[in-house]
Structures are given as structure tokens and as C-alpha cells.
Amino acid sequence: MTGGALVWYNSRMGKNGSGRSGAKAVRLVKGREKSVLRRHPWIFSGAVDAARSDAAESGEVVAVESSGGALLGWGAFSPASQIRVRMLSFDPQAFPDEAFVAGRVRDSIDRRSAMLAGGRTDAVRIVNAESDGLPGVVADFYAGHVVCQFTSAGAEARKAEIARAIFGSCPGCRSVSERADVDVRRKEGLGCREGLSVLEGEEPPPLVEIHEGGVRILVDVRKGHKTGFYLDQREAREAAGAFAKGREVLNCFCYTGGFGLHAAACGAKHVTQVDVSADALAIARRNAELNFGGGFADMMEFAEADVFKYLRTCRDAGRKFDMIVLDPPKFAETKSQVMKAARGYKDINLLAMKLLAPGGILATFSCSGAITPELFDKILAEAAEDARRDFQIAARTRQAEDHPVALSFPEGLYLKGVFLRAL
């Protein structure tokens, strides 16, 4: 919402937000208010009665009305997106002004207070978009430096006030910056750009050092994946470490080496880190030296390679591993890509299953939200059948606790992890 729109609200709606005289309104098609009443935050374009709705600007806060004209709440308008409105407030009496948004930010950070103060890690997701009541807003805290992504029109319009709220509410915060290089912004009619833009505080260093338990990790906050690191896999990395002692470990799609670092720290016999990105592997090597000193080459090696091709090469050479980690990038962006993605997941898991020694562990993951946990299990079962091997499910993981899922927003669950033991 623009500053001008906030002035309009303060002058014409009253301080308590209970009035809506002159407010632009989005009227819903009859029967389509059910999802709003269930407190789902997305209203799709097909649910909007365009002929009975006001024209609003991108990111503007609008009144959301039932087909009969009852005020259901307030949302941010996005004319370019299939998700036409993202709900900000389901209370007609609570207009989402700057104080409202700042309160949402404080509450989100407060829910992570135990993690921020507990000493287990100094890298935490402090705002998780719709599931924290701030659609399109992601904010990750890396040892004092917060990196945000604003992926909806409403979030983009209010990023300055969100950054102020984070900077003023997050203990130990030294900077708040934005990464605007995520492709989903284009679906909202927003531009993409490379690099890091500082919104509050100081300029972060090129690499920020964070800690997960006893493991030290360098994070590239300017060019790294997502906001710099995969915080959502924290619990899975710890679980992998618990299985790794004494094992020969192959870490595929290793990025900057997180799973492999935890495995080595927990006593793995040897770790092979594989990724197609030379830049990621360069940081992975630095992370290995940071944790294990100059002698890390005795316990860890690195391979710059396409993982599918690398696994086939290992298969043809008759290599075996005691533990394999498969943490690939998202194979399915939309439901239309599910079948193709399913074939990719099956192919890579089949290859890995054939490389496991008896009693070996396969830690396999999918971060594609369109791939349900049930479908992922089915894919793994079919891969095991084709590999002619038996497996037990030894453990399951989901996205880390600082990536919560609102009960009314099941789409917030996207990460699935299964630890399989080869029999």
C-alpha cells in the first residue's frame, strides 16, 4: 500500500478502521466467499465479480465483500496475478495499516524468540509469508543480518514499513536487505533484479558466517540460493548427521555442503560433495576448511558434475555408498509439471537405490509443493520396486520449525524428507 493510500485511510476511514466509506472494494462471486470464511488467504481471479468490483492499484488494500455486500476483511490487490487478492485481515474492524503490519512482524519474531536466544543456531526464518499472516513476505535472519524477499504486490508496496518493523523488533539485527531476483515476482507484475539492496542498517559482508550446533557455515546473501541458504532443512541436516557415523556418504546437490558438513562433524568415514555449480562448491570447500582445518581433504572430496550423470557413472563403475543424500532443486513449479517431475524424482531415486550398500541409508527430499507427501511415497515405492530392493522408512522430516504451516493454508507445506534403510 502506498503512502498516499495510508493518508487516505487515516483521513477518511477513522482511526479505528471500522468504517469503509470511500474504500475500494472487491466483490466476490456468489458462493466463492467460503474460502475466505475458512480463513484461506488467497482469492483467485475467478472468484472476483469484476463487474461489481472497484478498480484498484497494484498492492492497494481493498475491502473484500461477499456477493451480498458483507465486509469479510481486507486484502492486498494484485491485478497481474491469478491470485487477485491476498488477505491481510479477516477482521472487518482491523484495517491493516502500518501499526497492524508492524504488530504482525513483532508477533512473528516473538514466536521465534526461543530459537533466537537458545544458542542452537543464529540463523532463523523470522517471517514465513502467509503462514505468519504476511503474504508474500519472507525474512531470514543470518547472524544479525536479515535478508527479505517480497514476492507479492502487497508485500512489494509495503516493504519499507516491513523492513522498519523488522529492524526495530528483531534482537541483534544489524541490517535488513532485499533480494528481488526470484522469478515468482514476474507473476505479480513486479520486476526482478540481481544483487542485494540494503533497506535498513549497515551493508552485510559478502559471506555471513552462521552456526548450526557445532557446524560453521558461510552464507552468500547476495547471490546464494533463496535468501542465501536452505534454513528449512536444518532439522534434516541434523537427522542426517545422526545416521552418518562411520559411513561413506554421498551428498548430491550439495550446494554449499550443509548435509555433508553435518555428516563429517558426526563422524562419517568419508564424504563426497557433488554439485553442478562451481561457485557453490567453492564455498563448500571454504566451509570444510572452516570446520575441519587444512586436513579436510582426507575426509571430504568435491565433484563438479550433473548429479544424474554422476550417479550413472558411479553405477557403471560398480561403486557403493553407505549413505546417499538427495536434496534436489524444485522439479515442479506448478501442478501441470507434476508428471514430468515425478519421472525425475523416480529416476534419481532409482539410481541412488542401486548404489546403496546393504544397510545403507537414503535421505531423499522433495521441495516441490505440487508433489504431495503421498505421491512422493508412491514414487519412492515404485523406484524401490524397479531397483528390486527392500527398504524400511527409518525417519521422516518436514520443513524446519521456523517454517510453520498455517492450518488454514495447507499450501504452506512443501518440503518432504524420507530416510530409507536398505535391507
Report the interhelical angle of 234-244 vs 258-265 (nearest 10°). 40
Joined together, the cell numbers standing for residue 282 give 567453492
Q: Based on the residue annotation, tell me whether 314 is a catalytic residue of this protein.
A: no
For residue 313 the three cell numbers come to 557413472
Contacts of 385 (CB under 8 A, 6+ apart): none
Residue 206 cell numbers, joined: 559478502
Catalytic residue among 170, 173, 254, 367: 367
CB atoms within 10 A of CB 191: 9
| 3-state DSSP of 200-254 | EECCCCCEEEEEECCEEEEEECCCCCCCCCCHHHHHHHHHHHHHHCCCEEEEECC
Q: Strand, helix or coil at 63?
A: strand
Reading the block at residue 244, the C-alpha cell is: 552418518
Distances (CA, A) of 97 to 6, 129, 253, 286: 7, 17, 43, 45
Cα separation, 273 vs 66, in Å, equals 54
- Cell numbers at 323, concatenated: 549413505
282: which residues sit within 8 A by CB, 6+ positions away? none
**378, amino acid identity:** K
Catalytic residues: 367
